[in-house]
Amino acid sequence: MAKETLSPNDCRDMLIAVANKIIESEPILTDADRALGDGDHGIGMERGMNAVKEKLEGTDFETADKPFMAMGMAMMSSMGGASGAVFGTLFRTGGKAVGGVDTFGPEQLAAFFTSGTEGVQTRGGAKPGDKTMVDALVPAAEKAEEVKGSSLIDAITAVAAAAEAGKDASKAMIATMGRAKTLGERSIGHPDAGAVSVAIIVATMRDFVAS
Ligand code: ADP
Ligand code: MG
């Protein structure tokens, strides 16, 4: 049976599941960043997710915003670089928008993705079409707003599909940001590594809610 809503500690457990899945996906992320960037995205995310697990495991949370914010802060302080700042911002700014509530449902899911995506864009300056994680996040956030009247499982399922489609759409884009910029048209055909991470993160959230 899918979960109707999540308690603060369910949110913690969902984020630990995300951390484990990203660690397991390190080779996929490394390959994705090797095609376009410097190949360090998998290792950077793995380091961040180990810090996240250290922070979340065995900690009790009173409100749903706190585990997301703790995750963002752990990523910022452990990963460094551009992706530490932007991925950390996703969870810290998105988490703050969840609010000090004791149940996480579709409304909170929409608040997380909308504010988190705005935060990433403000922090990193990437726009849709620049071939970054923003290309998976913007469709995810738009879908989350559209389906916030649905059940949590239907909402997160739709959001995961939107993130996956956004990641796939990034293949056709020409990188204009970061290290991949120098590749120009040679960046076509590969998905952005950060967008691959976003798709994995949202798919793991969906699988957690479904279980
Ligand atoms: P670095 O770019 O420092 O090597 P990573 O390889 O860990 O860091 O992460 C690269 C990913 O981070 C990119 O694929 C992209 O999705 C994301 N990213 C980097 N800079 C930005 C930015 N300014 N705005 C949005 N996303 C960004
Ligand atoms: Mg890199």
Task: Provide the pLDDT for residue 187.
Answer: 79
- pTM for this entry: 0.97
Instruction: Report whether residue 38 contacts ligand 1, using a CB cutoff of 6 Å.
Output: yes
Residue 63 CB neighbour total at 10 angstroms: 17
Closest-CA residue, ligand 1 atom 16, reads 194
Count Cβ neighbours within 10 Å for each residue of 132-145 and write b for 16 or more, e otherwise.
Answer: bbbbbbbbbbbbbe
Ligand 1 mean position, distance from CA 116 (Å) = 15
Distance CA 109, CA 164 (A): 17
Q: Is the CB of 193 under 6 A from ligand 1?
A: yes
Residue 28 beta carbon below 6 angstroms from any ligand 1 atom = no
Ligand nearest to the CA of 176: 1
Q: Is 37 in the pocket of ligand 1 (CB under 6 A)?
A: yes
**Residue 130 near ligand 1, beta carbon < 6 Å:** no
How crowded is the C-beta side of 144, counted as CA atoms within 13 Å? Answer: 26
Taking 50 as the pLDDT cut, the residues of the chain under it are none
Q: What is the pLDDT of residue 80?
A: 82
Contact 153, 118 (CB under 8 A): no
Please tell me the number of the ligand nearest to residue 87's CA.
1
For position 167, what pLDDT does the model report? 98
Best of 28, 30, 36, 41 for a ligand 1 pocket test (most atoms within 8 Å of beta carbon): 41
Q: For atom 23 of ligand 1, which residue has the closest CA?
A: 124
Please indicate whether residue 183, judged by its CB atom, sits closer than 6 Å to ligand 1.
Answer: no
Domains of the chain, CATH where assigned: 8-210 (1.25.40.340)
SS3 for 182? helix
Residue 143 CA to residue 149 CA, distance in Å, equals 11
Q: What is the 8-class DSSP label of residue 6?
A: B
